[in-house]
Amino acid sequence: MTYSLNFAAVWRSFDLLLEGLALSLGLAFAAILAGCVIGLIAAFGLVSKTVALRKPAGLYVTIIRNTPILVLVLFSYFALPELGVRLGKIESFVLTLAIYSGAYLAEVFRGGLIAVPPGQREAGLAIGLTEMQIRTSIIIPLMLRNVLPSLGSTMISLFKDTSLAAAIAVPELTFEARKINVETFRVIETWIVASCLYVATCSLLAALMRVVERRLAVPR
């Protein structure tokens, strides 16, 4: 068996791959922002003393975490229109990814919230802050510092999950790679280049998170 690698065809379409990568990053970024908001609300639900808040939050986390993301992606793109919710490909994908990551982030944030010592809340009360002020200016900043490592790994796996957008023909990196495959038949070369782009971006994100963690670390 002889096969000679020839990257020329892939390099010619390299800008397509880069555009795809940019869209992947954009999807992941939009989804993590929305996912953080959803996850934060759900996390406060999970640690709430009120059953009426705790149960729905728990149900959301359990259902989403135990359903394959591809099913969710297809459901929101193909089945939601039947309920009268009509979204474009990108909007429906970002929404799905946000809801999916929200469930994982809820667990992450819950752990972080529990780790904030109760004395912090009491100190806030003592200086006359309202419950809402205590949350926004004391508990959430402390919690974010606690959860930074898990937040980083959730972000990286979210970035990898953007590849599923190819299933509903969103032109992100995986979709572009398949397109180049079909056009040039340079299958091995294309997948090597696409995987390397993914790996490089993930390593970059991981390095970035390490820098942020160091900058925000509590000085000892």
Any contact of residue 43 with other proteins (CB under 8 A)? no
Q: Are 42 and 102 in contact (CB under 8 A)?
A: yes
Q: Dihedral angle at the C-alpha atoms of 36, 39, 40, 45, nearest 10 degrees? A: 170
| Among 203, 208, 210, 217, contact with other proteins (rule: CB under 8 A) | 203
Least distance in angstroms from the C-beta of 39 to other proteins:
19
Handedness of CA 66, 70, 76, 78 (dihedral sign): negative
| Residue 10 or 143 with smaller CB distance to other proteins | 10
Tokens representing 161? 């999950």
Q: Please compute Rg for the chain using Cα positions.
A: 21
With CB under 8 A as the contact rule, which of the stretches 37-45, 123-131, 141-149, 164-172 interacts with other proteins? 164-172
The burial of 45, by beta-carbon neighbours within 10 Å (0-12 exposed, 13-18 middle, 19 or more buried), is given as buried
DSSP string, 39-55: HHHHHHHHH-S-HHHHH
Any contact of residue 74 with other proteins (CB under 8 A)? yes
| Among 174, 176, 180, 193, contact with other proteins (rule: CB under 8 A) | 174
Any contact of residue 187 with other proteins (CB under 8 A)? yes
Any contact of residue 63 with other proteins (CB under 8 A)? yes
Any contact of residue 160 with other proteins (CB under 8 A)? yes
Least distance in angstroms from the C-beta of 78 to other proteins:
5
Provide the binding-site residues for other proteins, judged by CB under 8 A: 1, 3, 62-63, 65-72, 74-75, 78-79, 82-83, 160-164, 166-167, 174, 177-178, 181, 187-188, 191, 194-195, 198-200, 202-203
